[in-house]
Chains A and B, each alone.
Chain A
Amino acid sequence: MPVPAIRCGKTGITFLVLLFLALTLSCAHFSHELNSLAVSGLPGSVEIPSVPFYPQEAYQCGPAAMAIMLQWTKANVSPQDLIPKVFVPAKKGSLQPALISAARRYNRLAYPIKGVEALLKELAAGHPVIVLQNLGLQWFPRWHYSVPIGYNLAKGTVILHSGKEARRRMSWTLFMRMWKRADYWGLVVLPSGQLPASADEQSYLSAVLGLEQARQFKGATAAYTAALERWHSSLGALMGLGNCRYALGNLIGAELAFRHAAEAHPSCGASFNNLAQVLAEQGRYTEALQMAIRAVDIGGPNKPLYLQTLQEVQAIVKTGPE
């Protein structure tokens, strides 16, 4: 019978020795990291109450973890509902983008995070997080999703819903070793309209763009509105808000958002272009024409689109609306 890759004997023993050396050296810094975080203004201990728990069956940690997150956001979803949406049979597991996609299909914001600081910030703000971990080793990976719901800095523990166990307490060091092997990937899932505690403008807007992509225009509208409360006059948020309102058929709301964008960012042609389109659809052709000309004058990489808008408006002005 062929023996897999590693053969016993001297090579094996040397390998084991090297392995332990490598592990010992690579993991030495985690406790330092925790000590430095302890002084950065985070509460010393957190456990988010009332995070529901679903024990995982067989390979179904993805659907179970996602069901926990979605139920926590008050979406009525069971792990069974999620299996066809996130589980990839040939891989016997769930891929990260599938979790992101599933959250959006339930009109929830999916915000990926990376690293300890973001994780602790989210937990401190009362947001559970899905994390990907490699429970095995680099060369023998056992990928697993679990849901941290709290931590205790003084005791050096993380509290998580994982596998068949609710509220498992795990040493910070073990948790970090296994999280590091998955490149510190985590995912926050929130009702649309709420901001993640660790949100930065660009990453948050990209996450909301995902909601828009999934055609969850109402959710995306709420999420862009929330962005504008934090990052006033953000071009991406204003344009996104306008586009979502437009997609929902709210021409007047869209006009307001594009006008705001045009005032706050007069050197960006896109807002004038979209404003022209929205005005034309309201039958306000003279104003539309002015805005379309403005967009073309500003130019930029989207100029072909601006010219198209201008030609369409000019054609209507010449021949009159159909």
Chain B
Amino acid sequence: MNFLKSMRKPVAGLVIVTVCAFSISWAPAHAAMVSTDKILKQNNQNLDRERLNVLLDRSEVRKQLEAWGVTSEEAKAWIDSLTDQEIAEIVARIDQMPAGGSAIGILVGGALLVFFVLLVTDILGYTDVFPFVKGQ
């Protein structure tokens, strides 16, 4: 009996989590509604195939984000708030995407020429890499 009692809380927790998970994933159960997404898409051909691709794309982007050190929870929230079109754009250029991080701690590794070029371009007002050089 004691064992059963001690199991009550974890089991109840599990049931709650499962029910929530299902109710979330089944929330848009009214499949018979046309989504806004479909209305806004110019090209409506091959919807099912496209849908499948988008699902694959979403999991691909999510995996990549996790590989880059984003927590799995944040990666999911990230992906869930982007539209199919935005996800497709990310997939198309995931390797070349610029990550704004800026120039404060840089140029380790002794590339003297790079330093020199950027210093000159900074002074001439073509770049703005070094905080101690003020562009005009």
Contact = CB atoms under 8 A, between A and B. Distances in A.
Interface residues of A, number: 82
A212 B84 CA distance: 12
Interface string A129-149: 000111111001111110000
A170 B68 CA distance: 34
A163 interface: yes
A134 to B, nearest CB: 7
Interface string A85-105: 100111111111110110011
A136 B102 CA distance: 10
A240 interface: yes
A202 B40 CA distance: 8
Contact of A62 (B79, B100, B109): B100
B98 A143 contact: yes
Contacts of B69: 88-90
B102 A61 contact: yes
Given A89-B70, A137-B118, A243-B33, A142 B113 contact: no
Contacts of B136: 171, 173-174
Interface stretch (B3-11, B12-20, B122-130): B122-130
Interface string A279-310: 00000000000000000000011100100110
Contacts of B126: 23, 27, 137, 174, 177
A192 interface: no
Secondary structure class of chain B's binding surface, majority of residues = loop
A273 B32 contact: yes
Interface in A248-283: 268, 270, 273-274, 277
B52 interface: no
A58 to B, nearest CB: 6
A236 B36 CA distance: 7
A174 B128 contact: yes
Interface in B12-53: 30-40, 44-45, 47
Contacts of B47: 301-302
Given A58-B105, A136-B127, A143 B40 contact: no
B1 interface: no
Contact of A105 (B77, B86, B101): B77
B81 A214 contact: yes
Given A173-B136, A236-B39, 17 more contacts: A6-B113, A16-B117, A88-B70, A90-B69, A91-B68, A98-B78, A100-B82, A104-B81, A132-B98, A137-B126, A142-B102, A174-B136, A206-B40, A209-B40, A277-B30, A301-B47, A308-B31
7 contacts: A6-B113, A23-B121, A89-B68, A90-B68, A137-B118, A145-B102, A174-B135
